[in-house]
Chain A
Amino acid sequence: MASTSTPKPDEKSSTPADSKPEQAQNTKTAGALEEDDEFEDFPVEDWPAEETEAANQQGNNASGGTAADHLWEESWDDDDTSDDFSAQLREELKKVDAAKRR
């Protein structure tokens, strides 16, 4: 039967990925390290405006109701007064204050 015949060496590597996910993972990381930042060739030469990322973002806006600006956010946050870091900072500042009064 053809399906049970021994695969040729080069076919071996292309056996279904789920049979050895670990190895696939390994080769992927190795590939990532080797990779440089060369821009890839696009599979097609040209595409209509509807298929651009710009249109994609607008499409998301129409359905999600968020502006494209939401892809970028401010570099600080204001409403973090409850996180550990801010609480710790307030403690520190209190200590400075106390030291001054002494």
Chain B
Amino acid sequence: MDSLIKEFRAAYAGQLGNDLAKTLTPDVPNNAAQLMFVWESGNAQSIKDDLKFLFVRDKSARLNMSSDEAVGWQEIYYSYWKALGEVLAAEGLRKSRVKTSWTSVYEAWKELTSQIIRGYTNHEFENWTIPCLYVAGKYMRLYAMRADAERGSNGDDMVTNFQDDFDPETEKHKSLEDCARQLNRIFNLCLSDRAPLSESRKWGIYYAINLLFKTYFKLNSAALSKNVLRVLSAGRGDMPDFESFPKSQQVTFKYYEGVLAFLEENYEEAEKHLTLAWLLCHKGATRNMELILTYLIPCHLLTTHTLPSAKLLAPFPRLQALFLKLATAIKKGDLRGFHQALQEGEDEFVKRRIYLTLERGRDIALRNLLRKVFIAGGFIEGAEGGAQVRRTRIPVAEFAAAIRMSGGQDIDTDEVECLLANMIYKNLMKGYIAHERGFVVLSKNGAFPGTGV
């Protein structure tokens, strides 16, 4: 414990928040030996005494800390030591091979998190120490998920929960649901700070929100994420500038904000957020870039009717598998190819929640097909010997033939007219249908808006 507190003192003296948080980080894969050393440095009573001495009686440290604050830290490290014991036991690293469960780990870590929160509400902790809140929240969420997974695989829940209101869905995520409430406390702790910005906990707000987003998405509760956004925008006036937060926090936040808009079919908004996330993203973070583009590509398809180029997809084989066939079919106006690509990718598209959006790409594929018919129609003499103009009176039968050929199945004229009417309604094609005469009369200037003809 002495060595840990030594690190604490160094970080505290230099006001180094990240170093401070490191002393409370149970990174077992990278740090097992050191964590074991801390855990084995005493038993519950001796650790308590040690901490009391180190924080209260030992005057050699000369940290500029009130006795009240010292008590806060003393309690935190005691909770940390206890939680560490659970973590190491759950990982099977403790020599005595004590058994524990991830649920106990979660409970112990939650206790630590509460102590840290208390540090800010009751023990005058300053805002440079907020990385401690980050590490508390981060691991709390990880442990909650492991606890839920472990109980799920053991079938433990069934034994203890035979109440009337038993709901298997909530049981499945019991720890994570609880975790969401704790993370909400952290969020509010940051949000409600009235101190001037330079010393405000508001600097912790986006880290807390991002943890909440991840948690709510796992719980399949986008609505709760929207609540967070609402609260945030209500308080945005006295928040630090978004640009002054670390880019990791900006990018993560913009990704989730974008996906939320996407799920509400607010594609323009979604495109704005996702584009920002994409541009700010670290160029080496391939997986995250892939995630951003998974939603940005369908957005582009709907808002600006543009498709990803081969160059854009080159570094992402997974995205190529996901979108390339679909994009090719859209470009060619190949209705059958589009249908096939959509079906082949269905499982993945549904899982990513982009199926319905991509389905709307069919309109673009159809637009391109009709456009080809228009171009194949060629030119006719302009009125009174003027310059040549494109033929704008197109028989419905021609469109029908094209749709039949491209779709690979028969379709009657009424249905074709219905599709054409839809195209006109959606402003993908300009003109009108002369039903009795079996013609479509297209606009002379811009029959297919935005496509150059």
Q: Which of A1-9, A19-27, A48-56 contacts B (4 or more CB under 8 A)?
A: A48-56
Residues of chain A within 8 A of B405, CB atoms compared: 88-89, 92
Residues of chain B within 8 A of A85, CB atoms compared: 332-334, 406
Give the number of residue pairs across the A-B interface with Cβ within 8 Å. Answer: 136
Residues of chain B within 8 A of A45, CB atoms compared: 18, 246, 248-249
A61 to B364, alpha carbons, bound, how many Å?
A: 29
Q: Does B362 contact A (CB under 8 A)?
A: no
Q: Are A71 and B312 in contact (CB under 8 A)?
A: yes
Q: Does B422 contact A (CB under 8 A)?
A: no
Q: Does A93 contact B (CB under 8 A)?
A: yes
Count residues of A near B (Cβ-Cβ below 8 Å). 42
The one of A32, A52, A96, A100 that contacts B282, using a Cβ cutoff of 8 Å: A52
The one of B259, B284, B331 that contacts A77, using a Cβ cutoff of 8 Å: B331
Interface size band for B: 35 or more
Q: Are A56 and B402 in contact (CB under 8 A)?
A: no
Q: Does B397 contact A (CB under 8 A)?
A: yes
Q: Does B203 contact A (CB under 8 A)?
A: no
Between-chain CB contacts (< 8 Å), 29 pairs: A39-B291, A42-B251, A44-B248, A44-B282, A46-B247, A53-B281, A54-B280, A57-B279, A66-B311, A70-B309, A71-B309, A71-B311, A72-B300, A72-B309, A74-B307, A75-B301, A75-B331, A76-B367, A76-B371, A77-B331, A78-B452, A85-B334, A86-B376, A89-B405, A89-B406, A93-B376, A93-B401, A96-B401, A99-B397
Residues of B in contact with A (beta carbons under 8 Å apart): 18, 138, 210, 214, 217-218, 246-249, 251-252, 255-256, 259, 278-285, 287-289, 291, 294, 300-301, 304-309, 311-312, 318, 330-334, 351-352, 364, 367-368, 371-373, 375-376, 395, 397-398, 401-402, 404-406, 451-452
